[in-house]
Structure 1
Amino acid sequence: MQSVNDYYSAIQLRSDRWSALRAATGELSRDPSGRKAAALNKQVNELFDALALIERYWAFPGTQAFDHLRRQFEHGNLDDLAFGVHRVTRALTTGAYRRRHIPLDRDAADAEDHEDEAMLPPEARALARPYFEVIIVDDLNEHQERWLRNNVQRMRRSEDPFVYETVVVPSLEDALIGVLFNHNVQAVVVRPGLTLKSRAELPILKRYLNRAGGAEGIEGLKPEDYGPELCRLIAKVRPELDAYLVTERSVEEIAGLDLGICRRVFYNQEDFMELHLNILRGVQSRYKTPFFTALVEYSKQPTGVFHAMPISRGKSISRSHWIQDMGAFYGPNIFLAETSATSGGLDSLLEPHGPIKRAQELAARAFGSKQTFFATNGTSTCNKIVVQALVRPGDIVLVDRDCHKSHHYGMVLAGAQVVYLDSYPLNEYSMYGAVPLREIKHQLLKLKAAGKLDKVRMLLLTNCTFDGVVYNVERVMEECLAVKPDLIFLWDEAWFAFARFGPTYRQRTAMNAANALRERLRGPDQTKAWEKQQEKLKDADEKALLNARLVPPPDARVRVYATQSTHKTLTALRQGSMIHVNDQDFKGEVEQSFHEAYMTHTSTSPNYQIIASLDVGRRQVELEGFEFVQRQVEAAMSMRKAISTHPLLQKYFKVLTAGDMIPEEYRESGVESYYDPHQGWTDIWECWEQDEFVLDATRVTLAVGGTGWDGDTFKTQILMDKYGIQINKTSRNTVLFMTNIGTTRSSVAYLIEVLVEIAHELDDLLDDASKMERLAFEHRVKALVEDLPPLPDFSRFHDAFCGDPTTGEGDIRTAFFYSYDENNCDYLALDGSIREAMESGREVVSASFIIPYPPGFPILVPGQVVSEEILAFMRALDVNEIHGYRPDLGLRVFTEEALHGLLKKKLPKAAE
């Protein structure tokens, strides 16, 4: 039996324990006196001991049924035991317990097969009442607990929209462990009899308790404060839940307390019907999907279409003799719900007042923003909307140089003066990490020294990066606000929408950090801390400021925006994205310009199916996002463990760890790897709480240089063409596997099987290889593992496009449009003419974006000077795609005459 340290999550631990118990009891019942009987008896007893500690946190099978199964084992009723354990395991695997009562005794067992819930027709699953569980926190004896359960159970009615079961735990710690263990929990009822500490002793329980962040300070609480404090702590780790507080304290005392997620306080009463109705109402508020529901209702209405879209109602398809296959493939509903009208219960995305507006308000609640806006043409458009709404021509914007290309084009459209920030390089893997906070502060302080801080408008960063490097978002914002108290932040969270629904991940999301920062700035200690540091750093130089952890002033404005590709990591149709806003000055300063930018970039004919999918995707993550994200992380962790511990795979592959992808200076916790074969899983809460950068565990970067194939070849010719495994991101010698909320254990198992097969084939190939073939293989490996070109930093903007060489901001808009005139441009070949031009002393200036795939970031932008390092990197690239580069002509650059012409125009202005 695997140890607790071999498991990252409780879900997998519990599932494997029950599966092992089913196998052991089945074998024991078939041969109770066999030679393996003693070992099996010992194993079953150990499994019961292990499960006893965690089953108290789930309603099914429940502690009563679990104790009954254990008594059957102790009394030697092995056939009945095996039957009962089999039914429990089957029901847990298929989800049958969510639909109906599961009897465990042979005599009471029904004849129905426990069909897999996923195999049921969608119509049958949609008709079933959703199931959830409620934790009741009260320290009760067995008789009192039975009385409480019976009273709650008597409140159920056939007309209730949902079905729920109760789990009773005695203490504050048990309740925290329960909501972090049990993904079925949707509500918590906190009664006055709860105690503080858990009596459970299991390392994984304590590991989960650590993830409650802040639970370490509960020892000094007074008993009357246990209930309110529990509501507050649950709000921190699972803010989507509802809590109900039953208290004996007066209304005056409760009114001034922070009750976190508490939806209602019941004063010293046993009104079980009112409690029952509130529980259902709370879940119903999350279950609502205003726009999806309106679209479903619209599709049922008989209408006559006398406007655009012949496909509406499916008439152009049903009447066709040639495209019936399209109708058969998609089914009728998608066409019945297709319209360009904004009436009939629907709404306008551009001017929402009805169900779209309500759907966006629910999304804001789910993601922790003040306002949320839907987009139907991807996050590229969201980025341009935010930049256009906030940045005026001439504003200085600090931009992560290797961010998505939509940001660079957004700078062109807005007319921003761009200061590009360099991320730390990972030369051995041909990828960049993220921008160190020290680099950001350095650029801000340099602009301040030059008297330009008033022109600085925005900081734009990618969180998390494509390769999984995650910023300490709150720390970045607080230190930047200490330099410029009204700085606006745009966090590109295209690949991070799921993070809101994992307790560890949530703390590094833009909206969570913005809310935490707003609360801290309002706190009584902020003014004292700021004044104390101001006195200490009164005459400090830049070095001292860079070394200090700067404190923002209490009057700093929290102005935060996040763009998310909802469709990339949550359930939504392609191009379904969201903009989340947490800006204290939005109403007064931004709302009008944001509306205009939204109008500029949003289609007047948005796809209603995409909007509906965003609405339903929000419902899903509010009700089961915690479960799905937990499974997602678990799948990635299992993948890491399987590859890292397989002796054959280690010959050709390596899973990159946090230590490989984040330099030691940015890992204050000292954590190098999330899994160690000798120690098991690392509790990542600590490093996610304090380190400057952390690694998103759901992204598994695999170094493949040892196979002799570069990343692009390994992706295309091996994984995709041969095995049908789809991935997106590669570098020169790595491929990136990303788990998502739809990843299954079977998918992970298949990937491991494929990698093992590839490794076996390489072994066979090398065994039969000639000496020359071996030398050729070793040469390819060396070229991919050792002989890698260093990644170039951003060079500089040419003087024609740079207002101030000291601070380095560039006019990317002028450079971009100046290249529209062919007379201003020329082409230089990488294999000779560029080198000759640079050796002659000419400054070669790019006239376009140059974006190699991989790695997928611009190595040149319009107006940037080509440096020796950039030229060397481009010459060393062996990728198939370089956007903006013409292999037949070369690199598009500005002519010397064109640059001189611009400089002449600038000279009179400089003289003035």
Structure 2
Amino acid sequence: MNIQSTDPSKLTSISEYYSATQLRADRWSSLRETAESLHLHGIEGRQGKKLLATAEALFEALAPIELYWAFPGAHAFEQLRRMLEHRSIEELSLAVRRVARALTSGAYRRRTIPINSGDLDNEDFEDETALSLEDRAMGRPYFEILIVDNVNEHQERFLRNNLHRVRRPEDPFIYEPVVVPSLEDALMGILFNHNVQAVVVRPGLVLKSENVMPILQKYLHQAADSEDVDGMQPGDYGPEACRLIAKVRPELDAYLITDRSAEDIAGLDLGKCRRVFYNQEDFLELHLNILRGVNRRYKTPFFTALVEYSKQPTGVFHAMPISRGKSISRSHWIQDMGAFYGPNIFLAETSATSGGLDSLLEPRGPIKEAQTMAARAFGAKQTFFATNGTSTCNKIVTQSLVHPGDIVLVDRDCHKSHHYGMVLAGANVVYMDSYPLHEYSMYGAVPLREIKHTLLKLKAEGKLDQVRMITLTNCTFDGLVYNVQRVMEECLAIKKDLVFLWDEAWFAFARFGPTYRQRTAMGVANTLRETLRTEEAKRAYEAQQAELEGADVEAWLDARLVPPPDARVRAYATQSTHKTLTSLRQGSMIHVNDQDFKGEVEQAFHEAYMTHTSTSPNYQIIASLDVGRRQVELEGFEFVQRQIESAMAIRKAVQTHPTLKKYFRVLTPADMIPEQYRESGVNAYYNADQGWSDKWDIWTKDEFVLDPTRVTLAVGGTGWDGDTFKTKILMDKYGIQINKTSRNSVLFMTNIGTTRSSVAYLIEVLVEIANELDDLLDDASKMERRSFENRVKALIEDVPPLPDFSRFHDAFRASTTSPEGDIRGAFFLAYDEDNCDYLTLNDALMTRLEAGEELVSASFIIPYPPGFPILVPGQVISTEIMAFMRALDVSEIHGYRDDLGLRIFTPEALEAHKKK
């Protein structure tokens, strides 16, 4: 909680807040404290006057914000202001306390909160999250609708009363309306108020908002950037509002009430408007449509079917003794398992694909419907569930798309499942290097110029027709995000049918943040499907082709290439739903947006899916994917916003706390992205002198951006390496769990479950660590201090350089002028132990390499961390790679055996394979 000063001049500046949601929460908390202090101390004297001035300043700060929320609502808010004006302090203190506590606890979602002190209230402000799951499940979900209409107070009351009048006890949901006057207010409202699930656009709306609060105008800038709406006629405001709502929050339902003719409306772009009402005030019909629209997203076909199945009395005469919990309930020795998990998980266990359930391998019922709903939610044309992780998803996509001998461009630093997928598919792999971050022992991402150069080189070799696919990680483990649209457009300009596999294992949440969505595979694929068809796209392509006719490679590399209008949009995204959204472990999805899927890929995809998917998939995982989809369609926007806010709070705390700054540093975009890839020129998301940067501007322009939910903390200044800091300090001492480390950094990832309390605890722990280091150094002897400084220097300055991919050995290459390699041939050649030898990592090995001897890896060598191969089968071992490997101080190296050494091919095996 941010405790405010009672002096209005010392209230935390609005510019210090990353979001208006944080500002609102803290201002209400401060108003409650101020009102209670007024009640306790009175309004007389200097203290009383300061408190009154603070209360007035807080009301002034909250007034423009409360316009967009149904609770407490504009009418109740004005009531509170009048209490202050009339100096009804006791009544004000009680009312503000009720509102503030209801906002914090979520009680307003379950019942009416009285404002006036005379109204009875049982003060039941128990936090929603503290209620039992059963109690919460019994309540009706609450949401708000945004009505866009420039009406007076009497007309607004008419709208509210009529919507309240048509409510029915059997309604599955409960909602409250918020009325705003303009198109701009509607855009700010849907980006600020996460409770909004539907927008009703009426004919009386105006264009401009009178709300000029800067922190809210930031939302408008995000929503309407690059949109020219000033020249519109008033009659177009309604349809344009629907279009922009679909652009900004595509998951919301929009309803247009218009007096224009059906013929006029039919020719307009209404976004995803669910229904148009013509000049009528049928509130019951509108009410029913609103409920129906929300229920469309609320449905969980497979989860519901599984729940119903668990209620059926059945006799189990097939596999799975654990089904219905029989093998547990009859046991004398494993009752603790039943007690721990509870009965429902076993009631829902079955190997049956009937009785209302479905088959994952041949879905025709609720699984099929659940996958269709997931495709809608994530912007895909088809979506497939996976119950054994994204590693399997990557292999499925690769095997279904790549034929033996096809050339595939691969990010060398991608997850190892892609490399193994190339082996299975028999691809000829061209590895592309990411830019290195030597100082932090991590790699960035593959520059677009590197990708274009690789494609143009293959084109010059006459091999462009063999190039099938490109695989890139978006976003990387460390949070680097590609400009997906630019990559796809420029690659398609060179090869118009190139297939893109975007590994979005850590990016499933991105669909539900407007800033993020523009850099997702499915979002960009849908955009390209629309823009490539336009006349403007055709003219731009023809003009550039005339300009580049006869140009050299450098001109192509320097140009912002334009794709041909007949380019095929072929995008696949694999997502670890369980990593960033709500799903049981190993719950993942494959999203497809491929114009040639039906005609070319579908059968092969089906076979690959059959190859890698268990015939006994875990139904609990499938159900969790179904429910996770429901959650993000209804509250993903809210949760993602809070996730970002949590990460930004960590950034600000570390950068501004005087003790933390001594030992820790949050890596900024400038640290992780070289200047040439940051066209916006922005160095950091937060600067103590300038405040918050415009994230929308960064994400619109730059080649690479840093996902703000990933907070990489440089810990070299503590004298501990990343792995020690993670294990010995954070986990063992404080119970804080993290995953990714480098030699001198640790990665904190916020997610949709991160709370402000957990952020506060992390900051508290870091401060405690920093204070202990202060105390330790204060008492240290001269030699102890020198030892500490040496450790810090070793971690910060003496960092081994990161090696690039060397090359495939000639035995696994079609020609010495082309970079692709037969990774499958190398992989299986190593199956015969007679083809392999082992070498110890010592000075003698380095001497042999420096003398020019070609030694070739017979296996994948994957240090963890960082977790990507530094050697693959068939790769020539360079001195740089060996130097890096010898300098590693990681806990494990997959593919390397200490007792034997480095596995390489014998010269005889290489020569024999070369002659084949």
1:261-276 to 2 correspondences below 5 Å? 261-276=272-287
Give the aligned partner of residue 564 of structure 2.
553
Give the aligned partner of residue 338 of structure 1.
349
User: What code does the residue aligned with 1:721 have?
Assistant: D
Question: Which of 866, 869, 880 is the equivalent residue of 1:869?
Answer: 880
Question: Which of 740, 744, 755 is the equivalent residue of 2:755?
Answer: 744
1:481-560 to 2 correspondences below 5 Å? 481-560=492-571
- Tell me if 1:66 matches 2:81: no
Aligned length: 905
Give the aligned partner of residue 155 of structure 2.
144
Q: CA deviation at 1:35?
A: 3.8
Give the aligned partner of residue 30 of structure 2.
20
- Which piece of structure 1 moves more, 721-730 or 803-812? 803-812
1:382-531 to 2 correspondences below 5 Å? 382-531=393-542
Give the aligned partner of residue 133 of structure 1.
144
Would the aligned equivalents of 1:214 and 1:233 in 2 still touch at CA under 8 Å? no
Q: Distance in 2 between matches of 1:696 and 1:812?
A: 33
Q: Distance in 2 between matches of 1:171 and 1:865?
A: 64
Q: Distance in 1 between matches of 2:160 and 2:849?
A: 82
Give the aligned partner of residue 47 of structure 2.
36
Q: CA deviation at 1:34?
A: 4.7
- Tell me if 1:124 matches 2:135: yes
Q: CA deviation at 1:887?
A: 1.5
- Tell me if 1:899 matches 2:888: no
Would the aligned equivalents of 1:834 and 1:844 in 2 still touch at CA under 8 Å? no
1:764-803 to 2 correspondences below 5 Å? 764-803=775-814
* 3-state SS, counterpart of residue 639 of structure 1: helix
Question: Which of 192, 200, 209 is the equivalent residue of 2:203?
Answer: 192
Q: CA deviation at 1:215?
A: 6.2
User: What code does the residue aligned with 2:135 have?
Assistant: A
Question: Which of 222, 227, 231 is the equivalent residue of 2:233?
Answer: 222
Q: CA deviation at 1:214?
A: 3.5
User: What code does the residue aligned with 2:525 have?
Assistant: A
Q: CA deviation at 1:800?
A: 0.6
TM-score (norm 1): 0.99
Residues 209-267 of structure 1: CA distance to partner in whole angstroms, max 9, x if unpaired?
11114464111111011011111111111000000000111111111111012000001
Would the aligned equivalents of 1:400 and 1:460 in 2 still touch at CA under 8 Å? yes
Residues 274-332 of structure 1: CA distance to partner in whole angstroms, max 9, x if unpaired?
10000000000000000000000000000000000000000000011111110010000
Q: CA deviation at 1:426?
A: 0.3
- Tell me if 1:831 matches 2:831: no
Q: Distance in 1 between matches of 2:120 and 2:817?
A: 80
User: What code does the residue aligned with 2:266 have?
Assistant: A
User: What code does the residue aligned with 2:20 have?
Assistant: A
Q: CA deviation at 1:44?
A: 0.7
- Which piece of structure 1 moves more, 748-757 or 881-890? 881-890
User: What code does the residue aligned with 1:536 have?
Assistant: E
Q: Distance in 1 between matches of 2:846 and 2:149?
A: 77
- Tell me if 1:760 matches 2:763: no
Residues 577-612 of structure 1: CA distance to partner in whole angstroms, max 9, x if unpaired?
000000000000000000000000000000000000
Q: Distance in 1 between matches of 2:498 and 2:112?
A: 57
Give the aligned partner of residue 606 of structure 1.
617
Q: CA deviation at 1:663?
A: 0.4
Residues 605-642 of structure 1: CA distance to partner in whole angstroms, max 9, x if unpaired?
00000000000000000000000000000000001001
Give the aligned partner of residue 651 of structure 1.
662
Give the aligned partner of residue 55 of structure 1.
66
Q: CA deviation at 1:768?
A: 1.4
* 3-state SS, counterpart of residue 124 of structure 2: coil
Question: Which of 886, 890, 896 is the equivalent residue of 1:879?
Answer: 890
Gaps of 5+ in 1: 906-912
* 3-state SS, counterpart of residue 810 of structure 2: coil
Q: CA deviation at 1:839?
A: 4.0
TM-score (norm 2): 0.98
Give the aligned partner of residue 121 of structure 2.
110
Would the aligned equivalents of 1:10 and 1:204 in 2 still touch at CA under 8 Å? yes
Would the aligned equivalents of 1:215 and 1:233 in 2 still touch at CA under 8 Å? no
Give the aligned partner of residue 737 of structure 2.
726
Residues 641-699 of structure 1: CA distance to partner in whole angstroms, max 9, x if unpaired?
01110010000000000010000000000111001112211110011011100000000
Q: Distance in 2 between matches of 1:513 and 1:186?
A: 24
* 3-state SS, counterpart of residue 220 of structure 1: coil
Give the aligned partner of residue 910 of structure 1.
none
User: What code does the residue aligned with 1:669 have?
Assistant: S
Q: Distance in 2 between matches of 1:405 and 1:346?
A: 34
- Which piece of structure 1 moves more, 833-842 or 750-759? 833-842
Give the aligned partner of residue 177 of structure 2.
166
- Tell me if 1:637 matches 2:657: no
* 3-state SS, counterpart of residue 580 of structure 1: strand
Residues 524-553 of structure 1: CA distance to partner in whole angstroms, max 9, x if unpaired?
211111100010000110000000000000
Q: 4+ runs of 1 displaced by more than 4 Å?
A: none
Residues 457-511 of structure 1: CA distance to partner in whole angstroms, max 9, x if unpaired?
0010000000000000011000000000000000000000000000101110000
User: What code does the residue aligned with 2:814 have?
Assistant: G
- Tell me if 1:11 matches 2:21: yes
- Tell me if 1:710 matches 2:704: no
Q: Distance in 2 between matches of 1:100 and 1:841?
A: 78
User: What code does the residue aligned with 1:347 have?
Assistant: D
Residues 396-432 of structure 1: CA distance to partner in whole angstroms, max 9, x if unpaired?
0000000000000000000000000100000000000
- Tell me if 1:321 matches 2:350: no
- Which piece of structure 1 moves more, 99-108 or 383-392? 99-108
Q: Distance in 2 between matches of 1:36 and 1:544?
A: 71
Residues 730-774 of structure 1: CA distance to partner in whole angstroms, max 9, x if unpaired?
001000000000000011011111111111111111111121111
Q: CA deviation at 1:520?
A: 0.4
User: What code does the residue aligned with 1:847 have?
Assistant: A
Would the aligned equivalents of 1:463 and 1:492 in 2 still touch at CA under 8 Å? yes
* 3-state SS, counterpart of residue 445 of structure 2: coil
Q: Distance in 2 between matches of 1:226 and 1:177?
A: 15
Residues 786-817 of structure 1: CA distance to partner in whole angstroms, max 9, x if unpaired?
01111000000000111122221000001111
* 3-state SS, counterpart of residue 522 of structure 1: coil
User: What code does the residue aligned with 1:325 have?
Assistant: D
Give the aligned partner of residue 890 of structure 1.
901
Q: CA deviation at 1:904?
A: 2.7
Residues 27-86 of structure 1: CA distance to partner in whole angstroms, max 9, x if unpaired?
011111254212111111110001000101000001110000000000000111011000
- Tell me if 1:291 matches 2:314: no
Residues 106-131 of structure 1: CA distance to partner in whole angstroms, max 9, x if unpaired?
21031242111111111110010000
Give the aligned partner of residue 909 of structure 1.
none
Would the aligned equivalents of 1:102 and 1:109 in 2 still touch at CA under 8 Å? no
Residues 563-585 of structure 1: CA distance to partner in whole angstroms, max 9, x if unpaired?
00000000000000000000000
Q: Distance in 2 between matches of 1:209 and 1:354?
A: 42
Would the aligned equivalents of 1:658 and 1:694 in 2 still touch at CA under 8 Å? yes
Q: Distance in 2 between matches of 1:541 and 1:840?
A: 38
Give the aligned partner of residue 81 of structure 1.
92
Q: Distance in 2 between matches of 1:46 and 1:703?
A: 40
Would the aligned equivalents of 2:393 and 2:588 in 1 still touch at CA under 8 Å? yes
User: What code does the residue aligned with 2:13 have?
Assistant: S
- Tell me if 1:347 matches 2:323: no
1:830-849 to 2 correspondences below 5 Å? 830-849=841-860
* 3-state SS, counterpart of residue 36 of structure 1: helix
